[in-house]
Amino acid sequence: MNLFSWGMYPKIKSNVFSLRDTESLCAYAEKTEEFIPYGNGRSYGDSALADNIVYTKPYNNFLAFDAQEGILECQAGVLLSEILDTLVKRGWFLKVTPGTKLITIGGAIASDVHGKNHHTEGCFSECIEEMTLMLPDGEIKSCKKGDALFHATCGGMGLTGVILSAKISLKKINSKHINQTTIKTKNLKETFEAFEKYKDMPYSVAWIDCLAKDEEIGKCLLMVGDFANDGDLEYKSKKKLTIPFTFPSFALNNLSVKAFNWLYYAKAPNGISKQKVDIDTFFYPLDAIGDWNKIYGSGGFTQYQFILPKESSFDGLKEILGKISASGKGSFLAVLKLYGKANDNYLSFPMEGYSLALDFKIETGLFELLDALDEVVVRHGGRIYLTKDVRVSRETFEQGYPLIETFRTFRKENNMDKKLQSLQSKRVCI
Amino acid sequence: MSYVLIIGAKSDIAKEVARIYAKNGYNLYLAARESASLEELKQDIALRSGVEVVLKEFDITAYETHESFYSSLEEKPLGAIVISGYMTEQKEAQKEWNKTLETINVNYTGAVSILNIIANDFEKERRGFIVGVSSVAGDRGRKANYIYGSAKAAFSAYLSGLRNRLYESGVQVLTVKPGFVHTKMTEHLDLPPKLTASPSEVAEDIFNAQQKGRNVLYTKPIWMVIMLIIKHIPEFLFKKMSI
């Protein structure tokens, strides 16, 4: 069938095998030359694209829940949203969640996703007590933190096996609300100072205005927050708006310009303002708009996300924001965040420093611009996020991930490198 | 809370229908052949929703067992949803009588057999709802799958008559006509994404339509328009077409 990921680029033809039980998966793995697992298709680029894919979403049963410890065991196709639908009202939330709840548990592990609390809680792998995979030779194996298989699989982009199930440790909450503080800054220096000032807040993220020029480069709205304590756990997932057709891209920029300006000038008139918002508004604002990826038109888009070590973040970001602003490409809004320390996983993206993410419509000249940005990222010791990527070169990728050889060797030694391949893994030769 | 009986509980659509009724507080009877294989789903639903789930052995083509099956349900259900379906390759069904017969029996005869029993009970109790999952394929016979389509056409006609009969007793009958759905049954087909629903979308549509007391549901809704056009193509043209 026709297959693509969230960026709708590239679009390819794939043979799909739906995961329903381990017996048929074992037979499939034996007879299929090459394949890659595919969850809910929310990675942006070609990480989960290949001629043959194992569609894991139908494999989605809850297996056990320990209500004392807050540990859920479930199959890999369960969506984060299903966990929230079931457990928020009982006072549990994900320890780590990315900006969409529409991803599978398997995808969250394979991308070792992170969220607004990376600086305090780390990546998704932090909450995995144990997980089970099927290796490409059909063997079913469990692993936990400390095992090489665990550190290769978390962030391993599905290249170590098909994740079958996991035990996830959850966070106790006493409200579906978040007390949010919004801070307005005038330039990159003020933005960095604000991140440092509020680094003890569990959740933080900033929207950067990418059109700002000269002195105003790096002007942002920083949003920080923590769960309220009002005992109100009546969580109900919001109804989605849907976008029934693809948009011309100026529409998006106009919308986001309006949203940003409204917030910037109206909501935080004195520099700082406070709001009480719910889980969906705070963590998953874009999930409220069904297929927002269609907004970039049928040619698709990509998200460019990189991270720079803290010491070079200021200079690097200034240079990159300057280049983006001068190019006239890119979304008006970008997401900036200060991350905590890196973990021991071979290919996890986060490191201590600042990460910036922004969307680009796929068009002529774009990849040349991104290559030029790559050069700045590499020069400052940074790296690119594979989960968002569709075009990075092998050289750029390798320079950003010092443990790549460990990962390659692990794959070879365990006979994973032949069977498990995606378009992305072939491009960057993982 | 009351029970809902799901007949043919092993399909992808049934799994999602079960989950959505459970999420809304209904207890479930899940009826299927080899129902023990539904243990995992039972556990899943219990964890997600905390409702009662009872697995029931049921063979839709073993008509003689249907009376005793229904009387074995300790608490009679408030609603019954028939999802059983069997689709074989049209070309195989043309060649092999057994496959044609199986198609007719699962999609029509068996459904009628169990629904006759349920309808009599609901009519007497003057309450309840019946949902039958038919298909857009039943709206007009096409050479590509008219054996399956004709069985579904018969089922749609049955449901229409049943709705007419039970109206006075206050029993709702909903005919569901899915178009393309991503399921085990259609995995090998190259389906157009805009016209193809996921099992959970179909389940949500069924639940909402049933709760609103609707009569006929096309899912996705676009299929109502498509079938309206297909039904109105004059026969002298239609017989020459390949759609």
Q: Which pLDDT score is estimated for B188? A: 78
What one-character DSSP code corresponds to residue A347?
S
CATH of A177-400, one of 3.90.1170.50, 3.30.70.2520, 3.20.20.80, 3.40.50.300: 3.30.70.2520
Q: With CB atoms and an 8 Å threshold, state whether A18 touches B48.
A: no
Q: Are B207 and B17 in contact, with CB atoms under 8 Å apart?
A: yes
Strand, helix or coil for residue A302:
strand
What's the pLDDT score for residue A245?
A: 63
Q: Which residues of B touch A63 (CB under 8 A)?
A: 40, 43-44, 47
What residue of B is the nearest CA neighbor of A16? B187
For chain B, give the mean pLDDT: 96
Q: Which of A91-95, A238-242, A413-417, B89-93 is the least confident region?
A: A238-242
Instruction: Using a pLDDT cut of 90, give the percent of chain A over it.
Output: 81
pLDDT for the residue numbered A151 = 98
Q: Do A65 and B41 touch (CB under 8 A)?
A: no
List CB contacts (< 8 A) between A65 and chain B. Answer: 47
CA distance B202 to chain A (A): 15
- Res. A269: pLDDT tops 70: no
pLDDT of residue A252: 62
Predicted pLDDT of residue A212: 83
- The pLDDT tens digits for B20-64 are 999 999 999 999 999 999 999 999 999 999 999 999 999 999 999
pLDDT tens track for B178-227: 999 998 878 778 888 889 999 999 999 999 999 999 999 999 999 999 99
Q: Which residue of A has its CA nearest to B46?
A: A62
- pLDDT score, position A250: 57
- Rounded to an integer, what distance in angstroms lies between the CA atom of residue A50 and that of residue A38? 9
Quick check: A242 pLDDT over 70? Answer: no
Q: B125-145: per-residue pLDDT in tens? A: 999 999 999 999 999 999 999
Closest-CA distance of chain A to residue B41, Å = 7
For B44, the closest chain A residue by CA position comes to A62
Query: Is A249's pLDDT higher than 60?
Result: no
- Return the beta strands (E) in chain B as ranges: 3-7, 27-32, 53-57, 79-82, 129-133, 172-178, 180-181, 196-197, 216-219
Q: Each residue of A212-224: pLDDT tens digit?
A: 888 889 999 999 9
Question: Locate tokens 């170590």: which residue?
Answer: A160
Q: How far is B88 from chain A (nearest CA, A)?
A: 19
The type of residue at A204 is S
Euclidean distance between the first and the last CA atom of chain B, given in angstroms as a whole number:
46
Q: Do A18 and B187 touch (CB under 8 A)?
A: yes
Which contiguous run of DSSP H or E holds residue A152?
Answer: helix A148-153
The answer to whether the CB of A74 falls within 8 A of the CB of A61 is yes
* pLDDT of B115 above 60: yes
Residue A356 buriedness (CB in 10 A; 0-12 / 13-18 / 19+): buried
Beta B3-7 vs A383-384: how paired, if at all? unpaired
Chain B residue numbers touching A18 (CB-CB < 8 A): 184, 187
pLDDT at residue A383, rounded to an integer: 98
Per DSSP, which regions of B75-208 are E strands?
Answer: 79-82, 129-133, 172-178, 180-181, 196-197
The reply to whether residue B47 touches residue A16, judged by beta carbons under 8 angstroms, is: no
pLDDT of residue B243: 87
In chain A, % of residues over pLDDT 70? 93
Tokens (6 digits) for A24: 């048929």
Answer whether residue A421 shows pLDDT above 80.
yes
Instruction: Please determine, for residue A329, whether its predicted confidence score (pLDDT) is greater than 60.
Output: yes
The residue of chain B with its CA nearest to that of A3 is B193
Distance CA B12, CA B185 (A): 9
Span A233-240, average pLDDT: 82
- Mean pLDDT, residues A19-37: 97
Chain B residue whose CA is closest to A88? B48
Residue range A344-357: average pLDDT? 98
Q: Which residue has tokens 């996890």?
A: A348
Residue A273 has pLDDT above 60, yes or no: yes
Residue spans per domain, chain B: 3-238
Which residues of B touch chain A, with CB atoms under 8 Å apart? 12, 23, 40-41, 43-44, 47-49, 184, 187, 190-191, 193
Among A14, A12, A29, CA closest to A138: A29
Instruction: Note the pLDDT tens digit of each residue in A52-108.
Output: 999 999 999 999 999 999 999 999 999 999 999 999 999 999 999 999 999 999 999
- SS3 label, residue A429: coil
What percentage of chain B has pLDDT greater than the value 90?
93
For range A315-334, the mean pLDDT: 88
Decide if pLDDT at A264 tops 80: no
> Does the pLDDT at position B96 exceed 70?
yes
- Give the class (CATH, top level) of B3-238: alpha beta
Which pLDDT does position A382 carry in this prediction?
Answer: 98
Give chain A's contact residues with B (Cβ, < 8 Å). Answer: 1-2, 16, 18, 20, 58, 61-65, 82, 85-86
Which of A20, A62, A64 is closest, CB to CB, to B48?
A: A62
Give B44→chain A minimum CA distance, Å: 5
CA distance, residue A409 to nearest chain B CA (Å): 36
Contact B159, B132 (CB under 8 A): yes
What pLDDT shows up at residue A248? 58
Nearest to B48 among A16, A58, A86 (CB): A86
- Taking all residues of chain A, what is their mean pLDDT, rounded to a whole number? 93
- The angle subtended at Cα B50 by Cα B48 and Cα B55, nearest 5°, is 95
Binning pLDDT at 50, 70 and 90, where does residue A238 land?
confident
